Structure 1
């Protein structure tokens, strides 16, 4: 079975006296099963990594969600303890990786923290504690010890007509989950809004003029990709773009021989 490689972001976590570079299984499972790709974890070593070599070797990039937030110094925000936790090693890796993936036309899927990294990477800002805004919904996860309750599909999102995601879902509204307390503030350069929540919160973006699929979503399609058709469609669209990129590279090599 053909499984083109994709690069997957990692968090740096401290566990059992070791520093671990890791990604949640749900993202890897969704990539493998729903997208049909081979997820390859990229350690968060920042500028020690040759990202040009990496992107020449893979056919997609997936930037995962995380408990940590993008460090506010990267977009002129307040680096308070309340805004944390932070993961500067991940920031130093994902932001240049995102920029280079767009530059090289490598398909990109950015989820939750990933959409925020995409926005910051392209010059945007983040808004914190969205639930404190007047008239805003509470986008945070419900208080529960059950992951299924925390990740429950409960929020309506409106897809922008004529957008990339309209081609994935069709026009109109979809239902998604919501587990975030911060989101996009000022929209980054080259980004356009793909979907909004009922209170106007940006829930998805795409890169204008991108040479390949380049989409960020604020919700968590990875959690229900095996059982929810809306969630699965995100990963299938990404997988199709990855395979198209792999085929184009193969055709270019063949033509050059």
Structure 2
């Protein structure tokens, strides 16, 4: 079971969790694995618990950039757009997967 990171996007004036089909199909059709979408929502999120249930993590590409303040809080913000909730969830999942000794596959932004 592979976790796939989602992005926050505006859909009809409402926030939505999105991921491109090519990432989901790649996991299902080519890796022959179950795909689980990981929303970019920090409320109620427990990375360690989720990492314990996954066999791997895919960090998808995105039009948003990682906020440079995640690397160094004293650094001015880089060039957006940013998805801060996605950054928070992704960094927590990376740490949890490494602690669990499970693979992480990052694409572009990831």
How high is the TM-score relative to the length of structure 1? 0.40
Name the structure where helix makes up a greater proportion of residues: 1
- RMSD, matched Cα: 1.3
SS at match of 2:76: coil
1:42 corresponds, among 30, 38, 42, to: 38
**2:68 paired residue among 65, 68, 72:** 72
Q: CA deviation at 1:46?
A: 2.3
Work out which of the two has the higher radius of gyration on C-alpha atoms and give 1 or 2.
Answer: 1
Distance 1:56 1:39 in 2: 15
Higher relative contact order (CA 8 A, sep 6+): 2
Aligned counterpart, 2:84: 88
Q: Distance in 1 between matches of 2:42 and 2:91?
A: 9
Q: Secondary structure at the match of 1:113?
A: coil
Report Cα offsets for 1:60-104 as digits up to 9, x if no partner: 111100000001111234315xx1100001011000100110110
Whether 2:5 is the aligned partner of 1:9: answer yes
Which segments of structure 1 move beyond 3 Å, counting only runs of 4 or more? none
Please list every run of 5 or more consecutive structure 1 residues that lacks an aligned counterpart in the other structure: 115-257
Query: Residue deviations 1:190-232, cap 9 Å, x none?
Result: xxxxxxxxxxxxxxxxxxxxxxxxxxxxxxxxxxxxxxxxxxx
Corresponding residue pairs, total = 108
